[in-house]
Amino acid sequence: MGRLRLSIILLLLVGLACGCSKGPPKDAVVLWTAFEGVELDTLRERVADFERESGRQVALLKVPFASLRQKVLVAGPALQGPDILIGPHDWIGLLQTADLLAPIPDKVLTGQGEVFYPICLKAVTYDNARYLAPMMMECVVLARNTEMCPSEPETLDELVEIAQRTQDRANNILGFAYELDNFYFTWAFMAGFGTDFLAPFYQKDFQIDQLQFNTPASVAGATWVADLRLKYELVPPGMKNETAVDLFLNKKLGMMLCGPWNLGAIRKAGISYALQPIPAGPKGPSSPFVGVTGAMLNKYSAEKPGVEELLLFLSSAETGARLCESSGRAPTRTDTAKLLSERITDPAVTSDLQLFSSAAQSGTPLPNHPAVAPVWDIMKQTLELITTGQTTPEVELARTTERVRAKIRFMME
């Protein structure tokens, strides 16, 4: 695929400035992150450890997530951006298309005994090079209130059956619910029906004409999702994930989709819960999207002293273990998983970490190709129309194919 039109990148940046104040010390390695709370505290501790051990300076800047990528796109070409950026792997394609990233040095990824999980290395690969040193990964699984739903569903059909038995409209009890038109969550169920319309985004030579959203598998998956509301009446109209979480915490919802970011509230609420991979569909595993967070290298900083050292330190087993322990996100390395199993004394926390790790390793990496950008908004509109009964999956997914192709063609002109 050719480079994205410059005008598209500029549109992303309208009204934004790099927001740079007085620069860091000349020899400092500049590190930008959007981490917050305990993750940010843990990162700061590790950066301080690195400074003590290496004798180098690190200038750590916390930038709000909503503006981090755009600030990098503005500041990078002006040589005012970070030397290392901590962010999600699905930013790789756009940043590399803007010619801002350098491949991660082989020593960082392959010089450590091939300890990174294969899915992490797959996620961070773009155009046959790896552009991110993995630190943590995440996906969603099924959380079940074991008092309300004592049985574990093994298939999507069983999930529906258990949800129907649990539902009690007279007492405002729901069996299973989530935000149906959120493609990030719905993908897993469609994958269980054999959906593979994202496959072209993982190929080196992306071909627009290979995009086909209205396959029989996609139609079957979208129909199952729509049936959760239209046929089985399990998910009320307008359901949002925040509402589902609130209902689960108040014992008004038997099952929900759960990320590691939900676990703190669930444990604090004293819910008797169990986690499991999303039950399999009729055509195979319900493969959730997987996000890998890690360190990216500024193209203009590849030779800067201390940069490779910091990349090694940030993606090390020790840093990963501390971040995963503080955040609940899954490890990206086998030796990180071993450290976590040795350090964490709470068997429930250990079990949850292992479950998220296992589920992620069987998941689908979020596409990092820049051409995937239009899919998110268009699929949200598609799923909203389908799950509210305004159109059929066959009709709307065919329309989706044409809409996505047209948007990408415009980007490539």
Q: Which residue has the tokens 């090390």?
A: 316
C-alpha dihedral sign at 5, 290, 225, 266: negative
Q: What three-state secondary structure class fits 25? A: coil
Q: What residues are paired with 279 via a beta bridge? A: none
Is the pLDDT at 242 greater than 80, yes or no? yes
Share of the chain above pLDDT 90, in %: 88
Under the banding of pLDDT at 50, 70 and 90, the label for residue 231 is very high
Q: What is the DSSP letter of 105?
A: P
User: Would the pLDDT of 13 be above 80?
Assistant: no
Residue 325, pLDDT score = 94
Q: What is the dihedral sign for C-alpha 183, 186, 190, 196?
A: positive
Please say if the pLDDT value at position 8 is more than 50.
no
Q: Report yes or no: 312 and 46 within 8 Å, Cβ to Cβ.
A: no
Residue 369 has φ and ψ, to the nearest 5°, of -75, 135
CATH architecture entry for 141-287+369-412? 3-Layer(aba) Sandwich (3.40)
Residue 338 is classified by DSSP as H
Average pLDDT, stretch 250-265? 97
How confident is the model over 9-28, as a mean pLDDT?
A: 55
**Would you say the CATH fold of 141-287+369-412 matches that of 27-138+289-365?**
yes
From the centroid of its chain, how far is CA 146? 27
Q: Contact 4/373 with Cβ under 8 angstroms?
A: no
**3-state DSSP assignment of residue 126:** strand
What CA–CA distance (Å, rounded) separates 297 from 31?
10
Which long-range contacts does 334-343 make (Cβ < 8 Å, 24+ apart)? 334/115, 334/117, 335/115
pLDDT at 111: 63
Mean pLDDT to the nearest integer, 215-237 = 98
pLDDT at 78: 86
Report helix, strand and coil shares of the chain as percent, to nearest 5.
50, 15, 35
Q: What is the mean pLDDT of the chain?
A: 93
In CATH, the architecture of 27-138+289-365 is: 3-Layer(aba) Sandwich (3.40)
Q: Strand runs (DSSP E) across 244-353, as ranges? A: 253-258, 273-276, 289-298
CA 146, CA 150: separation in Å to the nearest integer? 5
Per-residue confidence (pLDDT) for residue 209, from 0 to 100: 94
Q: Where are the domains of the chain?
A: 27-138+289-365, 141-287+369-412
Q: With 0-12 CB in 10 A as exposed, 13-18 as middle and 19+ as buried, what is 55? A: exposed
Cβ-proximal residues to 311 (8 Å cutoff; 6+ apart), any chain: 84, 104, 105, 108, 133, 295, 297
**DSSP secondary structure, 248-263, as one string:** HHTT-EEEEEE-GGGH
Q: What is the mean pLDDT of residues 35-44?
A: 97
Cα 81 to Cα 3: distance, rounded to the nearest angstrom:
21
Partners of 275 in the beta sheet?
A: 143
Q: Which two tokens stand for residue 290?
A: 């997987």
What is the pLDDT at residue 77? 87
48-101 confidence digits (pLDDT tens): 999 999 999 999 999 999 999 999 999 988 888 999 999 999 999 999 999 999
The least confident of 8-12, 120-124, 178-182 is: 8-12
d(CA 40, CA 43) in angstroms, rounded, equals: 5
Paired sense of beta strands 141-145 and 174-176, if any: unpaired
In tens, the pLDDT along 279-336 reads: 999 999 999 999 999 999 999 999 999 999 999 999 999 999 999 999 999 999 999 9
